[in-house]
Structure 1
């Protein structure tokens, strides 16, 4: 499945948009969380969605 991780700053500007593949929602959530920590974006507004429109990860 294909997933998209998007990160925004406080003004709403998009800081990151990363599309990636994962075998399922659990793996996608783990990958997304790992990238957020590596880029030091874990405290920024972010979301991860599946290609089917399912919200996998969200932080405001």
Structure 2
């Protein structure tokens, strides 16, 4: 399992969420990231999800 990082921002730059989670691969992490965003109501905010190596797998501005 790898640790992925999900971060959500307000337009002002304020950080609303900074959460790490575990997934087996990038595809699984993308799905988990989208699920977390929907559950917390952040799917329309500015967000990014990165891999342990820094690769961007989810982004919305």
TM-score where L is the length of structure 2: 0.95
- Taking the aligned partners of 1:53 and 1:36, their CA distance within structure 2 comes to 19
Partner of 1:12: 13
1:32-51 alignment to 2 at 5 Å? 32-51=33-52
**Cα RMSD between the aligned structures?**
0.5
- Taking the aligned partners of 1:30 and 1:37, their CA distance within structure 2 comes to 11
Q: State how many pairs are aligned.
A: 60
Gap regions ≥5 residues in structure 2: none
**1:2 Cα deviation (Å)?**
1.1
Partner of 2:4: 3
Gap regions ≥5 residues in structure 1: none
Runs of 4+ in 1 over 2 A off after TM superposition: none
